[in-house]
């Protein structure tokens, strides 16, 4: 265990809803101060209020992570304000699904920009204060699509597969600095994004999952919370797949 005496600061992207909001609540419940980042300020404030009502510590920060300068500036401002930055959780991501032969350059580039480039930008900016503090936890959200592929998601699968290799490289480069880097790869999770899918698609996903159900956001959050904890200091460069056994089939 660490001899930590000051509150850890966690920067979480895509924290306004779904998995991101659940992650923020779980990390805050560990006693961390969570910085909630997304574009929708009103939704962020709702999550912040929920965390505060539960006795946690949080602040909201509206930011478009697709804007490199804005993202770098947000991380730098948080590190300056708190005189530290200990935890980075890159959860935000988008989909622009289409079959490969129909996929446009814009659909490919936009997904890569948000799902991969923003992760690179955020990690590079966050590593500086982590190195100064001689402690850090990075968790990047991947996907089973990045591990096994998925029809109609060539762009998304490519971005998430790249996140795995990127994260493993950080783990090797930063191990001597006491900074860990890991990936959590969700399977089919019940969120507002999946709620709009046809029931036939949901049932197909369940049929291909040994546990025969969709996952819940809090189950992803629990995995992330562990990897950002004091007790996870000997876990780095790993991909923790939380998918109900989908990738074992």
Cα 172 from Cα 56, distance rounded (Å): 33
Are the C-beta atoms of 65 and 92 separated by less than 8 Å?
A: yes
The residue annotated as part of the active site, out of 156, 164, 182, 227, is 156
Whether 111 is in a domain gets the answer yes
pLDDT above 90 for 105: yes
Whether 247 is in a domain gets the answer no
HEC profile of the chain? CCCCCCCCEEEEECCCCHHHHHHHHHHHHCCCEEEEEECCHHHHHHHHHHHHHCCCEEEEEECCCCCHHHHHHHHHHHHHHHCCCCEEEECCCCCCCECHHHCCHHHHHHHHHHHHHHHHHHHHHHHHHHHHHCCEEEEEECCCHHHHCCCCEHHHHHHHHHHHHHHHHHHHHHHHHCEEEEEEEECCECCHHHHCCCHHHHHHHHHCCCCCCCECHHHHHHHHHHHCCHHHCCCCCCEEEECCCHHHC
Cα 21 from Cα 37, distance rounded (Å): 10
> How many distinct structural domains can be found in the chain?
1
Q: What pLDDT is recorded for position 1? A: 37
Host domain of residue 138: 9-241
pLDDT above 80 for 23: yes
Residue-wise pLDDT tens digits, 171-196: 999 999 999 999 999 999 998 778 87
| Neighbouring C-beta atoms of residue 164, cutoff 10 Å | 19
234 a catalytic residue: no
In this prediction, residues 118-141 reach a mean pLDDT of 98
Whether 246 is in a domain gets the answer no
Distance of CA 15 to the CA centre of its chain: 9
Whether 187 is in a domain gets the answer yes
Q: Which residue has the tokens 């290799």?
A: 165
Are the C-beta atoms of 243 and 187 separated by less than 8 Å?
A: yes
Which residue(s) pair with 98 in the sheet? Answer: 153
The Cα angle at residue 243 between residues 215 and 20, in degrees rounded to 5 = 60
Whether 70 is in a domain gets the answer yes
pLDDT above 70 for 54: yes
Q: What pLDDT is recorded for position 142? A: 97
Whether 184 is in a domain gets the answer yes
Q: What is the band of 26 on the pLDDT scale with cuts at 50, 70, 90?
A: very high
Q: What pLDDT is recorded for position 2? A: 42
Q: What is the band of 19 on the pLDDT scale with cuts at 50, 70, 90?
A: very high
- 239-242 and 9-13 beta bridge pairing: unpaired
Cα 199 from Cα 85, distance rounded (Å): 42
Whether 130 is in a domain gets the answer yes
Whether 236 is in a domain gets the answer yes
Q: In this structure, what CATH number is given to the domain that contains residue 88?
A: 3.40.50.720
pLDDT above 80 for 234: yes
Q: What is the band of 88 on the pLDDT scale with cuts at 50, 70, 90?
A: very high
Q: How far apart are the first and last CA of the chain?
A: 37
* Average pLDDT taken over every residue of the chain: 95
pLDDT above 70 for 200: yes
- Which has the higher per-residue pLDDT, 167 or 1? 167
pLDDT above 90 for 96: yes
Say which residues have a Cβ less than 8 Å from residue 5's Cβ, sequence separation at least 6. none
In this prediction, residues 142-152 reach a mean pLDDT of 94
């Amino acid at each position: 265990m660490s001899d930590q005496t000051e509150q850890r600061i966690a920067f979480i992207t895509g924290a306004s809803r779904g998995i991101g909001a659940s992650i923020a609540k779980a990390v805050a419940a560990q006693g961390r101060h969570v910085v909630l980042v997304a574009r929708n300020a009103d939704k962020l404030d709702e999550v912040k209020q929920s965390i505060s009502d539960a006795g946690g510590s949080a602040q909201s920060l509206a930011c478009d992570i697709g804007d490199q300068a804005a993202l770098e500036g947000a991380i730098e401002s948080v590190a300056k304000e708190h005189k530290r930055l200990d935890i980075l959780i890159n959860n935000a991501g988008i989909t622009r699904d289409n079959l490969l032969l129909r996929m446009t350059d814009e659909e490919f580039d936009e997904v890569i920009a948000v799902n991969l480039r923003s992760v690179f930008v955020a990690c590079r900016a966050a590593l500086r204060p982590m190195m100064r503090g001689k402690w850090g936890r990075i968790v990047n959200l991947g996907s089973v699509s990045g591990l096994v592929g998925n029809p109609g998601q060539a762009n998304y699968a490519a971005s998430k597969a790249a996140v795995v290799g990127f994260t493993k490289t950080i783990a090797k480069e930063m191990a001597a600095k006491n900074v860990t880097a890991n990936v959590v790869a969700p399977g089919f999770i019940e969120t507002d994004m999946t709620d709009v899918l046809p029931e036939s698609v949901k049932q197909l996903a369940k049929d291909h999952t040994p546990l025969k159900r969709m996952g819940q956001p809090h189950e992803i959050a629990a995995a992330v919370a562990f990897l950002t904890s004091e007790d996870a200091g000997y876990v780095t460069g790993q991909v923790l797949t939380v998918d109900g056994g989908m990738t074992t089939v």
